[in-house]
Structure 1
Amino acid sequence: MDGLLTWIFSVLAAIMLFLHGLSAFSDEMSRLGGERLRLALQRLTRSDWRGSLLGAVFTALVQSSSAVTSMAVGLANNRTLTERSAVSVMIGANVGTTLTAWLVAMKVSGLGPLFVTLGCAWSLIGPRPWRPYGKALFYFGLIFLALDLISQGLAPLAAGPWLAQRHAALGSPLLALLAGAVLTGLVQSSSVVSGLAVLPVSQTVLAPGVAVWLVAGANIGTTSTAFLASSALDATARRLALLNTGFNVLGVLLFATVLQPLIAWILRQHIPPAQQVALVHSVFNLAAAMAALALLPPMWPRLETWMRSRS
């Protein structure tokens, strides 16, 4: 029982660390950047497509759509990003995270400790006028460090014998979809679930047709991080998180209907099964992002009114 309590409080502490890191980073960026940062980000995200490209590239670099979507919500909360820019960045983040499926063996890691160390050292021994920037870098690293701690603390639930004993039950697309969403919500990382989907396929433990539904479910589960981040912010941030979930659900609906002929064709190709899953993951997220970006302009007036309403 003592071990169980220690594990529970360790996970809760990591979640609290994540919330504090996000809130503090958002405050520091707003205070340090001010109007110059706001104008620079507005230039980079002044169109939906450019904002999505920024989100995709940044997510591909840091290998964490959870961190990118959370920071987009936080920066919108402090008005550094507009609500529409934040939405476009979150749409792009889903595309950027597909790189993980292709590079499971080379997954980027260690960003949290690196930035925490550099930020702390800079704030202590850097040139005095520039030391405040070290604090922002420290909190930036704290976000990644907390996400790593959450994933490490909860990963045994996803990688344990429970999943291996239920591969047969996951033959149902609906069950596989739900399993992917739940596992991603637990470990707070779609990268973990993508790895769990790709690696067993390469070892012929899991069928590609099942793995792709797990990956699709991960797209829904990963939205829980934005909800977690928005819980410490205002109502607009919470509605942004809800909107992000809506777009991801739309993507899964496309996956389950319109994209099924294309997915079936990919799964029939004579390429390694693990690459089939990675390719489906990429095509699915790219198609979902393009659909979301096409719908965003006509829907935005109503969405903006809803997000800024008091009710």
Structure 2
Amino acid sequence: MIKKSVFIGLLGALAASLYAYPNFKTIAAGIAILLFGMVLLEEGFKSFTKGPLQKILKKTTNKLYKSITAGAFVTAIIQSSSLVTVIAISFISAGLISLSGGIGLVFGANIGTTATTWLVAAFGLKIKIAALAMPMLIFGIIFSLQKKLSLKGLGNVLAGLGFFFLGIHYMKEGFDVFKTYIDLSQYAVSGFLGVIIYTGLGIIITTILQSSSATLALILTALSAGQIEYENALALAIGANVGTTITAVLGSLGSNVAGRRLAGAHFIFNIITGIVALALIYPLANLVDRISELVDIAATNYTLKLAVFHTIFNVLGVIIMIPLIKTIERILLKFFKEQKDKDIDEPKYLNAAVLKFPGSVISALMNESKYLYKNAIFEIVAHALNIHRMDIKSDEKIKDIVKKSHRGFNINIEEMYYKKVKHIYGEIIKYATTAEKDLKLNARQINTILDIKIANRRMIEIINHAKELNKNINLSLNQDNKYVVQEYDGFRKKVTKVLRIIYLFRKAEDSEIYAKKLAQLKKEAKENIRYSNKSIDRLIRKDLINAEMASSLFNDNTNVNEINKKLIEVAELLYGKKDTLLETQNV
């Protein structure tokens, strides 16, 4: 409600400004065209995030220097630190990259966003608009109408750049015309008070425009038209950097705790960098003057000097923050904690942020399914056998484990299902269906999601079989018939063996050996029904068990073999795949 009221208020203020100052409309139109160009740029580059871009960001986050370089390089190319931040939040939420890797990308993105300042100052304000922007718009629109995704993406990029330069042109023209009626430079405030006021103004403008690049373009065009003083422009640039954290914060609202931690890191970085830049604004301005002399930038070329200043304080911010990364991580981990002691288990990887890109949602679905399988399903099946999970994971012989585990755990599998599985299973299916409906997936991605859905259905079936098996295992403990106990001990050994091999299969670096063992066990599970039935028949013929016991054994023999087959099938579907991000992308 508040957000809607603020939006309506801003629209009203804009309408009043256009009415009171008709000549302001050219500047406003320029801002609108530039923002539209940036939207097209972002949409265009999103077409390529399904392939090379995500691969670059995924592969370059194992080392800090790599992630900073990648963040700077990618942001400089795509002209959107916001998109890089959104991708980083999406990847962290999906468990694809670490928090420190995401922090490196954000740090690099702050350096990369200075490319916009250089593009506008050194190029955008000096070109003839018809010479560059118009051809870009013409070819961009032609390509964007094509059916092929890569051509459509290229078209959006070209059209976006065309509108970007066109917007700068109109903003510059608008300020030139506007100066005839009102000279905004008359409102310049010198000294540190002016620095504080204009920094706050930069934060407000960026918060409204939701783009520090658009704010910087506005500052540069106003500066080139002489509508603002150089000193005030420096403060506005600092404010623009601080204001861009709003985008990261908004982008993290739909993410999990990992995504919020990254947004927190982005906020801390920009606030500290802004404070340092404010404190050192005059020494940094003097440094810019010296550098400008060295590289032959004219003393009155304030737009290029602003670009130098913007680059220096962003690079300085990264240099200051690098030694503090571990400290920042500890603070964020302490401040943004995982929720515990919940009545119902919540998804660990699934959140709105992962739905931005096919790679992140598929990886999140896969990680969520693996987490469900190795924790909830493993626990439910082990406890259904009245066996501790740690015993299964140990090196103790299976026959000894079963022999010592003849006491019922008194568990309620139905209750465990509702607490640990049902909600997460529902979310997995919901996110999988949403991805299939809303995202443009290729055939391999569709098949991967199908495998994930099948694996989750099999997990639910395993729980149903385990519930029936547990009931009869506990009944056998209260019977004096040793033959029934022996048969159920045999069932428990079979399932325990499969659970152990699956555990080793998941943990092993070279899983090929265990994959072959699982294939053999699955084959045995299919063949065991006939063999085990003969064993039960023999007990019936010798009158060693009654009809009711025999009925339970026949049913549970089927349950055991179904549990084993489905446990193995799920393991193959979830762990028999290579990296889902890299293996399911469009090339």
TM-score surpassing 0.5?
Answer: yes
Q: CA deviation at 1:167?
A: 6.1
Q: Residue 362 of structure 2 aligns with which residue?
A: none
**TM superposition shift of 1:308:** 4.3
Report the Cα offset of residue 64 of structure 1: 1.2
Structure 1 spans left out of the alignment, 5+ residues: 124-133
CA 1:40–1:70: 2 relative to 1, 3 Å: closer
**Any conservation in 1 of the 2:224–2:303 contact (CA below 8 Å)?**
yes
Q: Which amino acid aligns with 1:193?
A: T
CA deviations on 1:19-49 (whole Å, 9 max, x unpaired) are xx99xx7xx97xx88xxx9997454111222
Q: 1:67 aligns with which of 83, 100, 108?
A: 83
Query: Are 1:168 and 2:178 counterparts?
Result: no
Paired residues for 1:1-311 under 5 Å: 41-104=57-120, 105-106=123-124, 121-122=147-148, 165=184, 168=187, 171=190, 172-258=194-280, 260-267=282-289, 270-271=298-299, 272-310=301-339
- AA aligned to 2:236 is L
Q: Report SS of the residue matched to 2:148.
A: helix
Letter in 1 for 2:62: R
Q: Which has the higher contact order (CA 8 A, sep 6+)?
A: 1
- Taking only the aligned residue pairs, the percentage that are identical comes to 24
Tell me if the contact between 1:236 and 1:308 (Cα under 8 Å) persists in the aligned partners: no
2-structure distance, mates of 1:120, 1:308 = 47
CA distance in 2, matches of 1:114, 1:226: 29
User: Which residue is equivalent to 1:129?
Assistant: none
Give the C-alpha shift of residue 68 in structure 1: 1.4
User: Which secondary structure does the structure 1 equivalent of 2:69 belong to?
Assistant: helix
**CA apart distance, 1:202:** 2.3
**2 CA distance for matches of 1:170 and 1:226?**
31
Tell me if structure 2 keeps the 8 A contact 1:169–1:175.
Answer: no
CA spacing shift, 1:71–1:290, aligned 2, 3 Å: same
> Which SS does the other structure have where 1:81 is aligned?
coil
Partner of 1:127: none
- Is the CA contact (8 Å cut-off) linking 2:86 and 2:248 kept in structure 1? yes
Equivalent residue letter for 2:267? T
| Contact residue 249 and residue 260 of structure 2 kept, 8 A | yes
Evaluate the alpha carbon distance shift between residue 57 and residue 170 of structure 1 in structure 2; reply closer, same or farther with a 3 A threshold.
farther
1:54-105 alpha-carbon deviations (Å, 9 max, x no partner): 0000010011112211221122111222222111101111111111111114
Deviations 1:157-178 (A, max 9, x none): xx897x9758615551111001
Deviation at 1:265, TM superposition (A): 4.0
Q: Is the 8 A contact 1:41 1:80 kept in 2?
A: no
CA distance in 2, matches of 1:218, 1:191: 8
Contact residue 197 and residue 212 of structure 1 kept, 8 A: no
Provide TM-score, normalisation by structure 2.
0.39
Q: Conserved in 2, the CA contact under 8 Å of 1:208 and 1:273?
A: yes
- String of CA shifts for 1:253-293, please: whole Å, max 9, x gaps: 11012454132342576531212111111101110111122
Q: What amino acid is aligned across from residue 307 of structure 2 in structure 1? A: A
Q: 1:275 to 1:44 in 2, by over 3 A?
A: same
CA distance in 2: counterparts of 1:39 and 1:175, whole angstroms: 42
Indicate the larger mover: 266-275 or 65-74.
266-275
Cα root mean square deviation, aligned: 4.3
| Residue 201 of structure 1: how far off its partner (Å) | 2.1
Range 87-96 or range 239-248, more displaced = 239-248
**Bigger Rg, structure 1 or 2:** 2
Sort the Cα spacing of 1:179 and 1:164 in 2 relative to 1 into closer, same or farther, 3 A.
Answer: farther
